Amino acid sequence: MVISVFVALTTVFYFAGIWLIFRLGSATPLMLSVGLAAIIACLVTRKGLRTLGWHWGSWKIQWLNYLLPVCYAALAYGFIWATGLGSWYDVDFVQQQKESYNLTAWSDAAVIGLHFLLTATVSFVLLLPSVLGEELGWRGLLVPELSKLMPFTGVALVSGLLWAVWHWPLMFMGLYGAAEATPFLYQLTCFTVCIMSMSVVMTYFRLKTDSLWPAVVFHMSHNVFLQKFFGPMTSENANSAWFSDEFGIVVPAILAMLAIHYGRRGHREFK
């Protein structure tokens, strides 16, 4: 009952969120609509809002979920830079940062260091409202409810597929993705593998801790380091789009290996 109401509300709110993307030029209302659907679904079905996993939990686990995306993003882009699929670093991007920070006298290395620090702190925190909006629905409500119906692997893959499909219309409309740099089906496949692999990791920590926050931290860290640092810091060539970001093969491939690790743990620990 709760899952059906949540999915129905998420679908209805999706259209309003898409309209607001064109109206406001921001995806934040669309992301928040998932959390709104979760809260209303709880109220309609008389499910306690406390079950969404509000308690903070272990700082050790929060730090792990912060650092995991940093590590796999660095590993992925390190491979891209080392193999010539992209280059470290984009001089034009660094120059733009110098001008935006009003630090044109600084060296490139100093500005890169500052940009990383600001990405890891200020930019990270600024993502909280939109990411929390999404995670209230996908991991806060959906994952625990699905766990009542199926084993861990099913929960992780079903919730991940729904999360991926939720993004697909944005890609169909050209609002999300790598434009026409690679075939659309290739981008869709890479992105879906990426999202479903993330779902396995976040599902594990949601069920392990009974807390929403590890998934929120993981999601925020993934978005901010790929979108604000490693991606724009890379100088791309004609082949880079096939390998970089969530729409190329390298990040999803590394995430898939991480998903296998946590998938096996989840299979053992949650029957």
pLDDT in tens, the chain (271 residues): 899 999 999 999 999 888 888 887 788 889 999 999 999 999 999 999 999 999 998 999 999 999 999 999 999 999 999 999 999 999 999 999 999 999 999 999 999 999 999 999 999 999 999 999 999 999 999 999 999 999 999 999 999 999 999 999 999 988 888 777 899 999 999 999 999 999 999 999 999 999 999 999 999 999 999 999 999 999 999 899 999 999 999 999 999 999 999 999 999 999 6
Determine the pLDDT at residue 28: 87
150 to 51, 80, 88, 124, 145: CA distances (angstroms): 18, 38, 45, 34, 9
∠ CA 185-219-79 to the nearest 5 degrees?
60
Residue pair 114/100 in contact by the 8 Å Cβ criterion = no
Distance CA 166, CA 206 (A): 20
3-class SS of residue 127? coil
Distance CA 101, CA 114 (A): 10
In terms of phi and psi (left: phi > 0; alpha: psi -120 to 50; beta: otherwise), the region of 32 is alpha
The partner residues of 87 in beta bridges, in order of sequence, read 235
Residue with tokens 């766990």: 147
Determine the pLDDT at residue 1: 86
Nearest residue to 218 via CA among 204, 232, 233, 229? 204
Residue with tokens 């861990």: 152
Determine the pLDDT at residue 253: 98
Query: Is the C-alpha dihedral spanning 17, 22, 23, 28 positive or negative?
Result: positive
Query: Is the C-alpha dihedral spanning 267, 132, 217, 42 positive or negative?
Result: negative
Determine the pLDDT at residue 33: 94
79-109 pLDDT, tens digit per residue, is 999 999 999 999 999 999 999 999 999 999 9
Query: Is the C-alpha dihedral spanning 248, 251, 257, 259 positive or negative?
Result: negative
Rounded to two decimals, the pTM is 0.96
Distance CA 177, CA 232 (A): 14
Residue pair 167/218 in contact by the 8 Å Cβ criterion = no
- What is the token pair recorded at 46? 């008389």
> What phi, psi does 235 have (nearest 5°)?
-85, 115
> Which helix H or strand E contains 123, and what residues bound it?
none
DSSP 3-state helix, strand, coil percentages of the chain (rounded to 5)? Answer: 75, 0, 20
Determine the pLDDT at residue 27: 83
Determine the pLDDT at residue 223: 97
